[in-house]
């Protein structure tokens, strides 16, 4: 990214008097920065610190001892334990770590303690520089209910809260939200008044568990609204920049998936209103540093204030790319007392960001953990906390990376990002990569028809298994042939089988294609069964090499050109394509111009020990039991009835009865740590 900013050298910034509402510590050149965070954001901050000549200090839990952010930093301090409550949420330990390592400043990143005014005060009281807004500004925005009151006084347009005790039919639908925190935790959509009491109680319980504060409120739900936000950057001298708009409407479970800047299709008058309202919100609380003011924009282009995030946002790179700025660098400069120019740089082009998560769409988007063998997304800016060879743990957010593309036009940026993700090598747990590619290529997204209901309308088609698409392949049990030699998934499975055969021959040159591997004695077909991920469709691949070439039932039009353990070239209907194959135990990844596929090799003789009692509920991932329903052994339960809630990777997962029947065993209690596959409960069928 080109550096178009003044004052690039931090130690040349002159001293400055703190502005209204700012921390009173005197401005001074920074030398060493501790990042009170982990993963991608810690690596992101360290990158800028390194470019600006600053030393860096990481903190880490035991689970993160070998994490990329620890390996990237100049020094690292251990926070004993694994859970966030024992480590990254312990402000006292982090301040002690900063002092021990000789840091003179603390950057909070996002999440964890980044919007905790008490932690900011701890940092300042220790004589350290706080790279964030003043604690008073954090306090002002900490409660969404109090924030709305302040914004109303400042003339910022907003939705008025609805008293749940007085709500009536015309008030519906309502959105119940946690007063503290965010990220969709403690949020419920209510369309029927009869559901309101239960949803209020559930939202309050989830908010208390996530944020330590069970306060919730209700406000009107805007149908087909867009989530639009404005990036704010303010110094201690009274200058406030409103750095354009971002659209973050593509959300699933209130979690952002794809973001872009500028928000497409907004009238200039509305943009001006949003910029002005965001700047006024910042001035109203004496804000300094980087922050974001979020709005809900109705279909009629009416804006409503949602909240102000008093920190850097996950999606900040799209603004950086459009404005040619490094927002982290400016956070550091503002903390030193630097003055912003009167006007920000002019924006150019369009930027789009997609969040790559380790999650399984076929299992209700459960977060995934395990070894990440390879992570390679060509042609993009990749902000990540992982590299190939790392392990995705179970204690934290399952986001692997953010892929960002900047281009002269929106259409070009979207096309390039979709292509880069489609060609990416992501070898390891199942991810949401296919959802991202399909979303970016969806006609409504391409046309800029965006709102927060996008996935409510389109998720089924965007997550449809490849084998169910218009070029259905040859899954096990299928009698239908296919044009052009099978589906992309089926041909990829064939390539995997041919690569495995080449590996077994021990020949680096691969299988002989010209003579077809002819033998004097006839041989039977080699049979391999692959289970495609994430939908689980099984593909039985039968093939042999004959005098006439490749004999692969189900793929009559496919000709083998060459095959090696890592690369297979096939010709179909006169079109030649190369398939790259990578094998990790029973897991196989295949990439080609037809798309990326992942398979699990099905063993010929299944392990009898893998069988479980019918009706058993097994932990889908390692985690902690946070709640158990009001049920007891011997009770009658219905299919889909919640029995307990498991928290893993910062998300709550509901474990439900798989069938109507009787609860015959319950092996869960709040606080119990469970491993993947642990028996949680048993429901026996019958009346």
**Does one domain contain both 500 and 398?**
no
Last residue of a domain, one of 464, 493, 527: 464
pLDDT value, residue 674? 82
Q: What is the pLDDT of residues 155-184, one digit of tens each?
A: 888 888 888 988 998 889 998 988 776 666
**Does one domain contain both 395 and 453?**
yes
**Does one domain contain both 508 and 429?**
no
Q: What's 633's domain CATH number?
A: 2.40.50.100
208 occurs within a structural domain? no
Query: Span 140-147, mean pLDDT?
Result: 84
pLDDT value, residue 238? 96
* Band of pLDDT at residue 479, cut at 50, 70 and 90: very low
The count of structural domains within the chain is 4
Q: What is the pLDDT of residues 655-677, one digit of tens each?
A: 899 889 999 999 888 888 887 77
pLDDT value, residue 23? 42
* Band of pLDDT at residue 68, cut at 50, 70 and 90: very high
For 566-577, the DSSP string reads SEEEEEETTEEE
Q: At what angle do helices 410-423 and 433-440 cross, to 10 degrees?
A: 150
Whose tokens are 């119990």? That residue is 672
**Does one domain contain both 24 and 59?**
yes
Q: What's 369's domain CATH number?
A: 3.30.470.20
Q: What's 499's domain CATH number?
A: 3.30.700
Q: Mean pLDDT across the chain, nearest whole number? A: 87
Last residue of a domain, one of 139, 171, 187: 139
**Does one domain contain both 436 and 373?**
yes
pTM of the entire predicted model: 0.83
pLDDT value, residue 116? 95
pLDDT value, residue 483? 33
* Band of pLDDT at residue 618, cut at 50, 70 and 90: confident
Lowest-pLDDT range of 341-355, 531-545, 613-627: 613-627
Q: Is the peptide bond before 262 cis (omega within 30 degrees of 0)?
A: yes
For 624-657, the DSSP string reads EEEEE-S--TT-EE-TT-EEEEEEETTEEEEEE-
Q: What is the pLDDT of residues 204-228, one digit of tens each?
A: 887 877 677 888 889 888 888 999 9
Query: Span 344-365, mean pLDDT?
Result: 94
State percent of the chain over pLDDT 70: 87
374 occurs within a structural domain? yes
- Between 185 and 424, name the one with better pLDDT: 424
Counting Cβ atoms within 10 Å, is residue 129 exposed (0-12), middle (13-18) or buried (19+)?
A: buried
CA distance 120 to 125: 9
Residues annotated as part of the active site: 311
* Band of pLDDT at residue 611, cut at 50, 70 and 90: low
**Does one domain contain both 634 and 593?**
no
Is a pLDDT exceeding 60 seen at residue 1?
A: no
536 occurs within a structural domain? yes
**Does one domain contain both 534 and 590?**
yes
CA distance 388 to 400: 11
Q: 79: domain range? A: 10-139
pLDDT value, residue 132? 97
């Amino acid at each position: 990214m080109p550096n178009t900013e003044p004052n690039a050298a931090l130690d040349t910034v002159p001293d400055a008097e703190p502005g209204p509402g700012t921390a009173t510590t005197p401005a001074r050149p920074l030398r060493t920065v501790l990042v009170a965070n982990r993963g991608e954001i810690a690596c992101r901050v360290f990158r800028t610190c390194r470019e600006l000549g600053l030393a860096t200090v990481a903190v880490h839990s035991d689970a993160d001892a070998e994490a990329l952010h620890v390996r990237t930093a100049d020094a690292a301090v251990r926070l004993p334990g694994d859970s966030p409550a024992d480590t990254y949420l312990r402000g006292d330990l982090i301040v002690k770590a900063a002092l021990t390592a000789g840091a003179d400043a603390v950057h909070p990143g996002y999440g964890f303690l980044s919007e905790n005014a008490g932690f900011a005060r701890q940092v300042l009281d220790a004589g350290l520089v706080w790279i964030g807004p003043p604690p008073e500004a954090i306090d002002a925005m900490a409660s969404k209910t109090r924030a709305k009151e302040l914004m109303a006084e400042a003339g910022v347009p907003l939705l008025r809260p609805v008293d749940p005790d007085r709500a009536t039919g015309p008030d519906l639908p309502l959105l119940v939200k946690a007063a503290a925190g965010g990220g969709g935790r403690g949020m419920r959509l209510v369309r029927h008044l009869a559901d309101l009491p239960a949803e209020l109680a559930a939202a309050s319980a989830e908010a208390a568990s996530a944020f330590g504060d069970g306060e919730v409120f209700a406000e009107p739900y805007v149908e087909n609204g867009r989530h639009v936000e404005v990036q704010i950057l303010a110094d201690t001298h009274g200058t406030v920049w409103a750095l354009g708009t971002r659209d973050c409407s593509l959300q699933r479970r209130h979690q952002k998936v794809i973001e872009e800047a500028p928000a497409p299709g907004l009238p200039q008058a509305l943009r001006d209103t949003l910029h002005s309202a965001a700047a006024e919100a910042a001035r109203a609380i004496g804000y300094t540093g980087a922050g974001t003011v979020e709005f809900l924009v109705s279909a009629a282009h009416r804006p409503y204030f949602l909240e102000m995030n008093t920190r850097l946002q996950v999606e900040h790179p799209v603004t950086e790319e459009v404005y040619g700025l490094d927002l982290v660098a400016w956070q550091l400069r503002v903390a030193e007392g630097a003055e912003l120019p009167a006007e920000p740089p002019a924006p150019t082009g369009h930027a789009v960001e997609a969040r790559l998560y380790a999650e399984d769409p076929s299992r209700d988007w459960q977060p995934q953990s395990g070894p990440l063998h390879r992570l390679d997304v060509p042609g993009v800016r990749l902000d990540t906390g992982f590299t190939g060879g790392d392990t995705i743990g179970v204690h934290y957010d399952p986001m692997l990376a953010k892929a960002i593309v900047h281009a002269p036009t929106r259409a070009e940026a979207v096309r390039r990002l979709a292509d880069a993700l489609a060609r990416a090598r992501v070898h390891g747990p199942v991810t949401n990569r296919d959802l991202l590619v399909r979303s970016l290529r969806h006609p409504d997204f391409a046309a800029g028809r965006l709102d927060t209901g996008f996935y409510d309308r389109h998720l089924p088609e965007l997550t449809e298994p490849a084998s169910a698409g218009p070029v259905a392949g040859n899954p096990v049990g299928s009698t239908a042939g296919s044009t052009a030699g099978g589906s992309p998934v089926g041909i990829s499975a064939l390539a995997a089988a041919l690569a495995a055969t080449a590996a077994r021959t021990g020949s680096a040159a691969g299988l002989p294609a010209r003579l077809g591997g002819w033998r004097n004695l006839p041989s039977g077909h080699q049979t391999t069964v692959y289970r495609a991920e994430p939908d689980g469709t099984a593909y039985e691949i039968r093939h042999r090499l004959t005098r006439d070439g490749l004999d692969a039932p189900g793929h009559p039009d496919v000709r083998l050109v060459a095959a090696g353990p890592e690369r297979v070239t096939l010709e179909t209907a006169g079109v030649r394509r190369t398939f790259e194959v990578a094998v990790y135990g029973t897991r196989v990844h295949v990439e080609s111009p037809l798309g990326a596929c992942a398979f699990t090799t099905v063993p010929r003789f299944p392990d009898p020990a893998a069988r479980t009692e019918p009706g058993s509920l097994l932990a889908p991932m390692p985690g902690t039991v946070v709640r158990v329903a009001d049920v007891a052994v011997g009770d009658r339960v219905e299919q889909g009835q919640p029995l307990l809630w498991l928290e893993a990777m910062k998300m709550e997962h509901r474990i439900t009865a798989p069938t109507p029947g009787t609860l015959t065993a319950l092996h869960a209690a709040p606080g119990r740590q469970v491993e993947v596959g642990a028996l949680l409960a048993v429901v026996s069928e019958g009346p």
